[in-house]
Amino acid sequence: MLAPPRLENSYWTDAINSGIYNAALRYGDRVEQLKSDDELRRASGAYVLTVGYYTDWLESRLTALDLVRANPVIVNACMRRDLRRKAY
């Protein structure tokens, strides 16, 4: 699971994390937080929940995931114009 640093402890991200972790426990699946490019290398071939709404951050993470041949599952709010912004 990937989230931009400024959203890692937000209500929105915490709610998503909670639901994903609970479902993973029920089905015996494993969920890991990926916080660095080094950690992304472990995701080769895995599905990676990518949570965020900053377009520049999402684009950079999708490029990094593509390089390690991971499969991103994107959760975002970029369709709302008021949330479509660059992270500075």
Residue-wise pLDDT tens digits, 68-82: 999 998 887 665 565
Q: Where are the domains of the chain?
A: 5-83
* Secondary structure (3-state) at 20: helix
Bigger pLDDT: 41 vs 36: 41
| pLDDT value at 86 more than 60 | no
For residues 56 and 25, the answer to whether their CB atoms sit within 8 Å is no
Residue 31: alpha-carbon gap to chain centroid: 11
pTM for the model stands at 0.70
pLDDT score of 69: 94
| Closest residue by Cα to residue 75 from 56, 59, 58 | 58
Token pair, residue 24, equals 């993973």
